[in-house]
Amino acid sequence: MTDTAKPAYRVLARKYRPETFSELIGQDALVRTLGNALSLGRLAHAFVLTGVRGIGKTSTARLLARGLNCIGPDGNGDATLEPCGACEPCRSITQGRNVDVLEIDAASHTGVDDAREIIEGVGYRPVSARYKIYIIDEVHMMSKSAFNALLKTLEEPPDAVKFIFATTEIRKVPVTILSRCQRYDLRRVPAAMLASHLWMICQRESIEADKDALAAIARAAEGSVRDALSLLDQAAAMTADKLTNDMVAAMLGRPGRRESQTLLTAALAGDATTALAAFAAAYSRGAEPEMLVSDLLDLIHLASMQAAGGSDEAVIESEREMITSLASSGIARLGRAWQLMLKGHGELGQAPNPAAACEMLIIRLAHAAQMPTPGELMQKLPTASTPAAITTAGASVAPQPKNPSAAATISQTTAGNFDQTPAKASTATNPAAVPIVPQMVEPSTSKTPPAPDSLVDIVALAETNGEMLLAARIRNHVQLVSLKPCNLQISLVGSAPDQLAGDIARYLSQWTGQRWLVSLAESGGEKTLAEQQRDANEKLRDTIASEPLVAQILEIFPGAIIDEVKASQAADPDILAGYDGALDTEQDTDDEEISK
C-alpha cells in the first residue's frame, strides 16, 4: 500500500496502537483494576490477559511492560499506569529492542526447551530495567511439559521478574498456572464505541466517510479494534472519494443496514413483496444470504433489547431511530421473528441454493407476521363469560384449568390426536339419542356401586376398578343387545378376544356382589360405544365450529382444525350438551396399548 508520491503508508492498526492506557478503548474496567493494583503495590508476579482476538491483549501487555519499567522523563519515576513514553525504557520497549522485555509467541515456541530457556534467563537480574518482563502470547499453546517448567518458576519467582500472559482460550490454560496470575478480561468493544473511534481516526487521517459506513465497519469487526482498523484501511484504499454505506456493504459482502431495515420492517408488516425486493437489491449488490440473515438477526436482537428496556450500549447513534421504530413491533412479534430467522440461519448452510432459501425464509417471516400474537389474540376474544379455554399449538392463550373444562384444543396440524384418558361415565340408554347427557360418577369409591343399567355404566365400573383393558375392549368390541339385572346379552365385533364375554361376567359378579350371566348373540345390537362416540364427536365438531368464538379462532389461524373437545362440569349446560360423548374418543384403539 505504499505510494511513491507519498510517504510510506502505515497501516492504521499499527499507527493507532494505543500509546497509553487512556487510549485503550473500551477497556475501562481493566484499566481501573490495574491502576488500583499498581497504586496499592499489589502487583502480582504474573498477569494473564484474556479476550477474543484483535481486542488489544498484546497492546495491553506492552503498555503494562512499559508502565512497569518506566522511570519518567527525569529518571526518578516509579512504576505507573501512565508511562511517559520519553524515558529510555519506554522508548526501547516501544521499539522492541529492550533486552529486559522478552516477547515470546507460544504458538511457535511450544517445546519444553523454550520453557527451560525462560527459566534459565529468570535467574539473572534485569540488565538495565526495573523488571525483567516475559510477555508470552497465546500461552495456552504451550506444551504440558513447558507448563510444568513454567509452574516451578511461578511458585518461587524472583522479585525482579514479571510474566504477562495473553490468551484467546483461557480454558486451555492449566488452573495451576491461572491460580498464580492476576487475571484481566478484555471485553469486546461495543460497536457504537468502535464507530466513534473510527470517526475520530477518519478526521485525523482526512478520510471522508459517512457515519453509516463507519457503523457498518464497526459492526462487522465484532468488537475487535484491530479488525475495525483493517477494514477501514481496506475501504479507504478502495476510493479517494467519500466512503459510503453502499461501498462498505459491497466490500463486506453484507447488505446495507438500510436494506436490512427495509426488508425487516416490510416483513414484520406482512409485506412480502417489498421485503423480497429489498433482498433482491442487496443480493444483486453482492450481499451473501448468510450475512443478510445474520444482519437481520442483529437488528431483531437490538430492537428486542430496546423493546425490553435492556442495555442499548450496542446501538449506534445514527441507527437509534431505526431500532426504536423496529422495537415498536413488540417483543412477542420480534421474538417470533428471531426464532424463525435463527432456524432459517441454520438451514441456510444445507440449502443447495442459499438465495432461494433466504427468499423462502423472508416469505415465511412475512406470513408469520400476519398471525396475531397470543396477547393480541386475547384482546380479540370476547372477554365476558367465555365458556371455553382455547389452546393453540405452542401458545396457550387462555388459562388452562387443572380440572377438565370445556376446552376446544385446536391444533394446526391435521393429525387427529385423541386424548386417551379414562372417560367419566355417561348414560346412553338410547343409542340414537345424541347428544349424550353427562352423569357424575365418583371415581374409586370403596362402597358397592349400584347395579349397572347401561354399557356405559359397565365401562365406568371397569375403569373405577382399574380394569382399563377390559373397559377399552368393551368400548370397542361390544354391541349391546339387551341388559337386565344380572343378565347381559351382547354381540362382539372386531378383533374381540374369545374370553371377553366370560371376563365381563366374572368381573361384573365380582364388582356387584351378584352373579351375572353374559350371553353372546350372533349379531345385532347397538353400535359400540366407540362408534357412538365417533358419531357424537363428528356432530360436536360441527357444532363447535359454528360457535362464534371458535369460528373466529379458525379464521385467525388459517389451516387450524378442531382437534379435540373436552367437557367441563363447570361449563354452561347448554354448551355442554353433546360434549361428553366426545370426551373419550379412542379411534382404532389397540387393546395392547391400554393394558397396564
- Site residues (CB under 5 A) for Zn ion? 70, 83-84, 87, 90
The CA distance from 113 to 131, in Å, is: 23
Q: Which is nearer to Zn ion, 70 or 455 (CB)?
A: 70
- DSSP three-state, residue 527: coil
We find the least distance from the C-beta atom of residue 91 to Zn ion, in angstroms, to be: 8
Tell me whether residue 87 or residue 272 sits nearer to Zn ion (CB atom): 87
Q: Find the shortest distance in angstroms from Cβ 66 to Zn ion.
A: 6
Measured from the CB of residue 164, what is the shortest distance to Zn ion in angstroms? 17
482: which residues sit within 8 A by CB, 6+ positions away? 488, 489
- Of 267, 268, 264, give the one whose Cα is nearest residue 255: 264
**What's the closest the beta carbon of residue 34 comes to Zn ion, in angstroms?**
17
Nearer to Zn ion, 73 or 524 (CB): 73
C-beta closer to Zn ion: residue 87 or 425: 87
Between residues 69 and 479, which has the closer beta carbon with respect to Zn ion?
69
291 alpha-carbon distance from chain centroid: 19
Closest CA to 588 of 533, 551, 549: 533
Q: How far apart are CA 62 and CA 287, in angstroms?
A: 39
Of 413, 375, 379, which is closest to residue 395 (Cα–Cα)?
Answer: 375
C-alpha span between 207 and 16 (Å, rounded):
15
Task: Please give the backbone phi and psi of residue 382, each rounded to the nearest 5 degrees, phi first.
Answer: -60, 135
The residue (of 135 and 177) whose beta carbon lies closer to Zn ion is 135
Give 307's Cβ-side CA count (13 Å radius).
19
* Residue 154 beta carbon to Zn ion: minimum distance, rounded to whole angstroms: 27
Residue-wise over 307-318: b if at least 16 C-beta within 10 A, else e?
beeeeeebbbeb
Question: Cell 477497556 belongs to which residue?
Answer: 27
Least distance in angstroms from the C-beta of 87 to Zn ion: 3
Task: State which residue, 43 or 360, has the beta carbon closest to Zn ion.
Answer: 43
Q: Cα(300)–Cα(312) distance, rounded to whole angstroms?
A: 13
Rounded distance between C-alpha atoms, residue 113 and residue 149, angstroms:
10
- In angstroms, the first-to-last Cα distance of the chain is 80
Beta strands in 302-456 (DSSP E): 389-392, 395-396, 407-411
Q: Please, which residue, 56 or 83, has the CB nearer to Zn ion? A: 83
Q: Which is nearer to Zn ion, 82 or 535 (CB)?
A: 82
Give strand pairing partners of 519.
489
- Compute the least distance from the CB of residue 83 to Zn ion, in Å: 5
Instruction: Choose between 90 and 366: whose C-beta lies nearer to Zn ion.
Output: 90
Rounded least distance, CB 17 to Zn ion, Å: 16
Give the count of beta carbons closer than 10 Å to the beta carbon of residue 328.
Answer: 12
Determine the Cα–Cα distance for residues 501 and 517; give it in Å rounded to an integer. 9
CB of 31 to Zn ion, least distance (A): 17
Sign of the alpha-carbon torsion through 587, 592, 593, 594:
positive
Minimum distance between the CB of residue 213 and Zn ion, rounded to whole angstroms? 38
Residue with Cβ nearer Zn ion (87 or 217): 87
Residue 86 CB, nearest distance to Zn ion (Å)? 6
- The residues near 12 (Cβ < 8 Å, ≥ 6 apart) are 201, 205, 229, 230, 232, 233
